[in-house]
């Protein structure tokens, strides 16, 4: 199974920071990052639309510039960084999973993804965000549809979008036949978010292809 560092192993480090990514790299084959667009137009790495510390009463990511976000002491002394800054900290041999938090950034995210040497997965809960991503043939970019644990989630959406991966909630993998169904449909499965060794072991028995994990220690049972 491939180990994907969820936001740079967010159980151990401040999520989505350069420091977290640098610490995660020795232990992970891929790093997952959440991306949004800020007021000055750059893509930035942030899970939430709101930041914990605002500037002059403004605390929306899309209302602050990249320099204003970088100046915040939002994560143990590190501000919200641009996607380019975080990607520069990741060696080419380590893959990147970019989770789109805004369907309006699809084309911009694809442009960045195709410009880097990494293997890139662009993922989203939002089918419309993925419909806006049209990778060139023979590109380094593939798509993943993220499944929660609701009845509305459907593997057919992933196949319709020509995804290579599906990213189901870990409980969905354990309590349903989604892993086998995804494999039957030709989709690789990366389960999220895995935060324990027993959970990782159980998912391995289900046949998942990758673990999107909050800590590198979840695979400690593997010899």
CB 44 within 8 A of CB 83: yes
Spatial distance between the Cα atoms of 206 and 202, rounded to a whole number of angstroms: 7
* DSSP secondary structure letters along 151-180: TT--HHHHHHTT-SEEEEBHHHHHHSSHHH
Spatial distance between the Cα atoms of 46 and 167, rounded to a whole number of angstroms: 19
User: Which domains are seen in the chain, by residue range?
Assistant: 2-36+95-219 (3.20.20.190)
CA distances for 80 relative to 17, 51, 71, angstroms: 7, 9, 8
Burial class, 26, CB count within 10 angstroms (exposed 0-12 / middle 13-18 / buried 19+):
exposed
CA–CA–CA angle 100, 104, 106 (5° rounding): 55
Burial class, 177, CB count within 10 angstroms (exposed 0-12 / middle 13-18 / buried 19+):
exposed
> Which residue stretches of the chain are H helix?
18-24, 66-71, 83-88, 106-114, 127-131, 155-160, 170-175, 178-184, 197-206
Q: What is the pLDDT of residue 150?
A: 66
Q: What is the pLDDT of residue 95?
A: 98
CB atoms within 10 A of CB 125: 15
Q: What is the pLDDT of residue 152?
A: 54
Sign of the torsion angle spanned by Cα atoms 97, 29, 46, 152 = positive
Mean per-residue pLDDT pooled into runs of 10, the chain (223 residues): 95 90 96 96 92 72 93 78 97 98 96 97 96 86 90 81 96 93 96 95 97 93 50
Q: What is the pLDDT of residue 154?
A: 85
Instruction: From 35, 34, 11, 13, select the one nearest 23 (Cα to Cα).
Output: 13
User: Which H or E run contains 30?
Assistant: strand 30-37
**C-alpha of 151 from chain center:** 22
């Amino acid at each position: 199974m491939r180990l994907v560092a969820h936001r740079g192993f967010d159980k151990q480090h401040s999520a989505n920071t350069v420091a977290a990514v640098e610490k995660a790299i020795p232990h992970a084959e891929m790093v997952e990052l959440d991306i949004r667009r800020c007021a000055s137009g750059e893509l930035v790495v942030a899970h939430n639309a709101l930041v914990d510390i605002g500037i002059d009463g403004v605390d929306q990511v899309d209302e602050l510039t990249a320099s204003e976000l970088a100046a915040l002491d939002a994560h143990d002394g590190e501000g919200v960084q641009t996607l380019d800054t975080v990607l520069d900290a990741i060696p080419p041999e380590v893959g990147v999973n970019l989770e789109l938090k805004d369907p309006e950034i699809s084309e911009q995210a694809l442009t960045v993804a195709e410009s880097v040497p990494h293997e890139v997965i662009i993922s989203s809960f939002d089918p419309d965000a993925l419909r806006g991503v049209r990778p060139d043939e023979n590109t380094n970019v593939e798509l993943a549809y993220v499944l929660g644990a609701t009845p509305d989630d459907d593997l057919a959406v992933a196949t319709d979008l020509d995804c290579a991966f599906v990213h189901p909630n870990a409980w969905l993998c354990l309590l349903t036949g989604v892993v086998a169904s995804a494999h039957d449909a030709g989709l690789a499965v990366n389960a999220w978010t895995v935060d324990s060794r027993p959970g990782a072991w159980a998912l391995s028995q289900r046949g998942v292809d990758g673990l999107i994990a909050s800590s590198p220690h979840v695979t400690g049972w593997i010899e």
